[in-house]
Amino acid sequence: MKQGKLIIISGPSGAGKTTIVQALLAQSPGAYFSVSATTRSMRTGEKDGVDYRFVSREQFQELIRTDGLLEWAEYVGNYYGTPAKPVLDKLEQGFDVILDIETKGAKQVMGKYPEAVSIFVCPPSFAELERRLRARGTNTEEDIRRRLTQGRSECKNAGMYTYLIVNDVQEKAAAEAAAILTAEKCKNKAHLSVLKGE
């Protein structure tokens, strides 16, 4: 059976990654959106297995020890990472898998799976990103500053991604994501019998 595609999506908070992820899910029947594991506490409104898989420090460290994570990092005393098993199972079954992860984690995944399709999503400018973050109306000034600083730092790592989508107009960005997946599926077909002249 044909392996699914492993698709890495990164980009600053507010760049519009959700639009891209939804376009890819709509395009690829049965595609799996990976849910990260974390040791931080669940916040109001979050659901286990939807926003994150909430695990204990012991469980997370066991995953690290057994090489059970595609990528992981520690932030402010909490662990975050991508459990490998559900991702690899889905790929094996022929389904595409989408990871929405930060650039540091993406680098780890690219190292392990050079065949992964990597897409960086960025805003047309940081002035526009700031405008979008303010328009949400739910972020504090400190939060906006933090996201902008982190976004600038993420953007400086965009060069390691194969594809870049400038999310200016949502529909265009979604169409580009769908096109990238279609194009990637036109690669590596050397196994087809017609190519042996049959």
Say whether residue 162 binds a copy of itself (CB under 8 A): yes
Say whether residue 20 binds a copy of itself (CB under 8 A): no
Q: In whole angstroms, what is the distance from residue 8 CA to residue 110 CA?
A: 9
123 part of the interface to a copy of itself, by CB under 8 A: yes
Using the rule CB under 8 A, give the single segment among 42-50, 86-94, 115-123, 135-143 that binds a copy of itself: 115-123
Q: Which stretch binds a copy of itself (CB under 8 A): 51-59, 106-114, 138-146, 186-194?
A: 186-194
Q: Hey, which residues between 47 and 86 contact a copy of itself (CB under 8 A)?
A: none
DSSP 77-137: TEEEEEEHHHHHHHHHTT--EEEE--HHHHHHHHHH-TT-EEEEEE-S-HHHHHHHHHHH-
Segment interacting with a copy of itself (CB under 8 A) among 77-85, 97-105, 136-144, 148-156: 148-156
Smallest gap from residue 177 Cβ to a copy of itself (A): 9
Measured CA to CA, the distance from residue 136 to residue 138 in angstroms comes to: 5
16 binds a copy of itself (CB under 8 A): no
The residue within the footprint of a copy of itself, chosen from 124, 135, 143, 145 (CB under 8 A), is: 124
Distance of CA 173 to the CA centre of its chain: 15
Q: Say how far apart CA 138 and CA 159 lie, in whole Å.
A: 31
- The reply to whether 95 sits near a copy of itself by the rule CB under 8 A is no
φ, ψ (nearest 5 deg) of residue 63: -60, -40
Give the residue, chosen from 164, 169, 170, 171, that forms a contact with a copy of itself under the rule CB under 8 A. Answer: 164
CA distances from 182 to 5, 47, 166 (A): 11, 32, 18
Which one of residues 139, 144, 158, 170 is an interface residue with a copy of itself (CB under 8 A)? 158
Measured CA distances, 97 to 30, 45, 68, 168, 194 (Å): 9, 25, 17, 25, 29
Phi first, then psi, for residue 101 (nearest 5°) are -135, 165
Least gap, CB of 23 to a copy of itself (angstroms): 12
Residue 26 interacts with a copy of itself (CB under 8 A): yes or no: no
Q: CB of 147 within 8 A of CB of 40?
A: no
User: Which residues make up the interface to a copy of itself (CB under 8 A)?
Assistant: 119, 122-126, 151-153, 155-156, 158-159, 162-166, 175-176, 178-180, 182-184, 186-187, 189-190, 192-198
